[in-house]
Amino acid sequence: MKKTFTKLRVRYAETDQMGVVYYGNYAQYLEQGRTEWLRSLGLSYKFMEDNHVILPVVNLNVDYKYPAKYDDVIRITTTLKKIPSVKIEFYYEIHNQENKLLVSANTTLVFLNSITRKLIKAPDYLLEKLKDI
């Protein structure tokens, strides 16, 4: 399935008193990975929201293996697990600059109409971009 790579440098503000990335910040890293994954298709969250589609996270699973530290350069690999329906599922791996696996994770998001707040199917414009993958 469609895979993207996003590189980030860990900022001081993202670390805790022990000098490692605070566990809650990994959810934001995953969001950045998803955003770049969508952008690689020529789409954006803003475009989807402008077309009344929102994507709330309904499931997040993170397996922490090793900590990222201040000033590390991390690489977020974001992979679509399968063609979306009313939900879209991603698998992630986060590695440091030495290619050490720090985190593996999964998220599930659902497609909602932003006006009615009801579940909808994946938009055709997204499915069209994915059909050749």
Residue 118 domain-assigned (yes or no): yes
Question: Which stretches does DSSP call E strand in 81-124?
Answer: 87-95, 101-110, 112-113
Task: Name the pTM for this structure.
Answer: 0.93
Residue 130 domain-assigned (yes or no): no
Per-residue confidence in pLDDT tens, the chain, 133 aa = 789 999 999 999 999 999 999 999 999 999 999 999 999 999 999 999 999 999 999 999 999 999 999 999 999 999 999 999 999 999 999 999 999 999 999 999 999 999 999 999 999 999 999 987 7
Instruction: For residue 68, give its domain range.
Output: 3-125
Residue 131 domain-assigned (yes or no): no
CATH of residue 106: 3.10.129.10
DSSP 10: -
Count of domains forming the chain: 1
Q: Would you say how long the chain is, in residues?
A: 133
Pick the closest to residue 93 from 69, 112, 66 (CA basis).
66
Active site residues: 16
